[in-house]
Structure 1
Amino acid sequence: MYDPNAKQLHDNAIVIDGTCPLLEAPEYIDWYIEGGVTIVTPTVGGPVPVEVSLNFIGYLLEFIRSRDDLMLIETAQDVYNAKAQGKTGFVFHFQGTDAIKDNLNNVNLFHKLGVRIMQLTYNVDNLIGSGAQVKDKGLTDFGRQFVERCNEVGVIVDCSHTGVRTTLEAIEISKRPVICSHSNAKQVFKTQSDRNINDDQIRAIAKSGGVVGVVGFPGFISSSSTPSMAQFLEHVDHIVNVGGIDHVSLGIDYYPGQQPVANDEEAIKLFESYVAAGAWSGPDYPKPPHIYPAGIETPKTMPRMTEALLSRGYAEGDIQKILGLNLLRVYQEVWS
């Protein structure tokens, strides 16, 4: 049984999970609905051919159209409408900019298709800049033009999986808030690469008006494959202490290779495919099992996090900010 006060707070809140690759299998939307999540953010593009992104966006658009309880989110007002109507909203997200290729007009194209958040890189170099797991050469000239176009069109710039220098240069030139959709605090758990972000990055994100989404992937929380809720919330505490309560959000990053979504054999197979593709490398991506923080092992029990935040002493208004209002503010500032 949930704490009734926490459950009521959770049910009344706008809850946004800012990173949802688990929805590569859209049937898992029912897990998010059970967990009281208002807005989900499926990964619709990344280090894959552009045709894959286009096909998946088309599939999701039809999936959303086919159900009365889902809607595509294109404006901040749509979020309020989804909550009022008891629907679950979809915000499309790129983890990497491969689909843009070398053509800035593709930013406009994918914006029209519903992509409202674009992550600069995915761990390695691309035409935009350097990822978190390689030597960081900074933002390219094309990358600068990309950030400017995102600002003009109304796409949120996301610096998760991105190197420190590239991140800071993107924030410096952006005229709109910049986010790290799913990144934890390096001062709490030091990843070998720059996958977790340092305090300078947290402060820069906050100064831009953006948010850092706390992530549940075990390799970014602690050295344990079964992190506790307390270990997860240490990252929340640190980001709040460094960046302020208005600049922390959620990007839990549930994905298809975690337990109990996948069995051990399936999890290892998917893990090995990411390694073989060069997307994951080193100790920051330990072998499965990948079991998410105790209490929120899947999206179905997200109210447990609200309970834990209350028990940790966070005020109800601040919990509402963490659960969704902070990221909703960024939606409003960038998309309007």
Structure 2
Amino acid sequence: MKKLFFIIALATSIGAFAHDIGHEHTHVEGGWDSEAGFVSNTDHTAHLWNSRGKSKEEIAQRVAFLAEAYVPSRTPEQEKRAAEAKEKYAEYIAINSVMPAAVAPAMAMGVEHFHKGLRENHEAGITLTSASVYNTKSIFGDTLPSIIKNTDLASDEFGALKVKSAEDIRAAKESGRLAVMYNTQGADYVLDGNMEDNMKWSAANGIRVMNTTYNNDNDLAGGGSKGTSGLTKKGLKFVKYANEQGIVLDCSHASNQTCIDTAEASSKPIVASHSNVYELYNHSRNLSDNAILAIGRKGGAVCPTGAGGFLSADGSATPEVFAEHVVYVANLIGKDKVCYSTDAVHNVMDFYEIAVPNTDVYPPELGMAAPIENLHAKHIWDVVAVLEDKYNWNHDEIVGFLGENLMRVYSANWK
């Protein structure tokens, strides 16, 4: 059941291949043709593969292939160029604005997965990573207090510094420690009881960034998967309390109208912590130009995300296509208002182990459980290389993208 909750939450990203297509198909040698593409009966490394009737060993081969494909490959020349960029900017703060890997049993996230995420970020040269501790009550129930407690313990065990201020981030950089902060990708839990008290509790327990809703409409705001509704009256109160408590408002997973309303209602800059550009790829999780402009007008920042399902139609996630989203945002609202996020799942194997054989939920002819890529922490330097080499970004613009643009937003909220 715990892994099922994890699948429900992750399917929004990994299931981005599902479209309204039928099961009709024509059998051909070695598999069949469907509207989603050729589905192989024999090659477990094919883009689409039929897992029906396959042995546990064959399923395990497919799972291993998908997990390996999740991390994009780079040529030796590209890796060398990224290493040069990492060395060039080693003295500057680099931020991964979303890492969905808190210690959350409801999402099948244990200490080992959290530590894996922290380790990958630290080794990649990331200064601060923001761990998601919550998205929606339908998945997390009332577990948030225990998640924070257990994630605090795991952070201490790793040697990470849990930050309360922008100065803490700079101190972590000076000492060579990884800084960690918490975010929520939804906030329906604040509606249980007194909202103002719940917001005070959130701030006191280290939640530094909060979204109103996780994809679906709730009593605070309209969700990204549902369409056009924006902030409600309760949502306006949420914005007010967030500003008072020094919590950065986030509108990834919310509707475009919610982004616009939140930016206009907030007295401080807001973020879209992990959102790509709708004009480049028309996925419902991506932001319209109007939403991006609203965030920019208030001095906020938009962080494209490395999840392939939101970057491109075929699920590929290369630094080159990521940079296209960065540059598009920068052209709209300025190079001082863009940033980096991975949204990389560090226990993706759990998803694939259940998704691949579960053809009733993830039928291969609909393109489900196909390979999908996700940029990881280390790829921030590949993106930097592309921004320098292809788009001629200068030193200060890169330093902003790496972390200083977000530091400005954090500082404005955390006073």
Q: Which category of TM-score, normalised to the shorter sequence, fits these structures?
A: 0.7 to 0.9
Q: Which residue matches 1:289? A: 371
Aligned to 2:235: 143
CA distance in structure 1 between the partners assigned to 2:213 and 2:356 by the alignment:
24
Residue 114 (str. 1) matches residue 196 (str. 2): no
How far residue 286 of structure 1 moved from its aligned partner, in angstroms, is 6.1
Q: Are residues 1:175 and 2:267 paired? A: yes
For residues 173 and 296 of structure 2, what CA distance do their matches in structure 1 show? 26
Q: How big is each residue's C-alpha offset from its partner over 1:86-130, in whole Å with a ceiling of 9 and x where there is no partner? A: 011111000000221243210110110000100111110112111
| Equivalent pair of 1:257/1:271 in contact (CA under 8 Å) | no
Q: Paired residue for 1:189?
A: 281
Assess, with a 3 A threshold, how the Cα gap between structure 1 residues 199 and 271 changes in structure 2: closer, same or farther.
farther
Task: Supply the RMSD in Å over aligned alpha carbons.
Answer: 2.4
- Aligned to 2:150, which of 59, 64, 81? 59
Contact 1:211 1:247 in 2 (8 A): yes
The match for 1:14 is 93
The match for 1:307 among 371, 385, 388 is 385
SS state at 1:96 partner: coil
Distance 2:369 2:235 in 1: 33
Structure 1 unaligned spans of 5+: 276-282
Structure 1 residues 240-279: aligned runs within 5 Å: 240-256=330-346, 258=348, 264-266=352-354, 268=356
Q: Deviations over 1:271-317 (max 9, x none)?
A: 999x9xxxxxxx9x96442212xxxx432454323222222221121
Task: Map Cα deviations across residues 154-206 of structure 1 (whole Å, 9 max, x no partner).
Answer: 00110011112222111111101111111111111111x2x111111111101
Distance in 2 separating the partners of 1:252 and 1:243: 21
- 1:12-91 correspondence to structure 2 within 5 Å: 12-23=91-102, 24=109, 25-28=113-116, 29-48=118-137, 49-68=140-159, 70-91=160-181
Residue 402 of structure 2 aligns with which residue? 323
Q: Sequence identity, in percent?
A: 28
Please name the residue that 2:312 is paired with: 222
Preserved contact between residue 86 and residue 125 of structure 2 (Cα < 8 Å): no
Partner residue, 2:57 = none
Match of 2:324 in 1: 234
Structure-2 separation of matches of 1:265 and 1:272? 14
SS in 2 for 1:232: helix
Partner SS, residue 51 of structure 1: coil
Give, as a single letter, the amino acid of the residue that structure 2 aligns with 1:308. V
Code of the residue aligned with 2:94 in structure 1: it is V
Is the 1:271–1:288 Cα contact (8 Å) retained in structure 2? no
Between structure 1 and structure 2, the one with the greater Rg is 2
> 1:219 touches 1:286 (CA, 8 Å); kept in 2?
no
Structure 1 residues 173 and 244, CA gap change in structure 2 (3 angstroms): same
Flag the 1:11–1:268 CA change in 2: closer, same or farther, 3 A.
Answer: farther
Tell whether 2:410 aligns with 1:335: no
Q: C-alpha distance in 2, partners of 1:81/1:22?
A: 23
Which of 223, 226, 243 pairs up with 1:134? Answer: 226
User: 1:201 is matched with which residue?
Assistant: 291
Quote the Cα distance in structure 1 between the aligned partners of 2:134 and 2:114: 15
- Report the CA distance between 1:225 and its aligned residue: 2.1
The answer as to whether partners of 2:257 and 2:291 remain within 8 angstroms in 1 is no
Q: Structure 2 length normalisation: TM-score?
A: 0.72
Matched residue SS, 1:42: strand
Deviation at 1:227, TM superposition (A): 3.0
Q: Distance in 1 between matches of 2:344 and 2:89?
A: 19
Is the CA contact (8 Å cut-off) linking 1:36 and 1:302 kept in structure 2? no
Shift of 1:43: 0.5
TM-score, normalised by the number of residues in structure 1 = 0.88
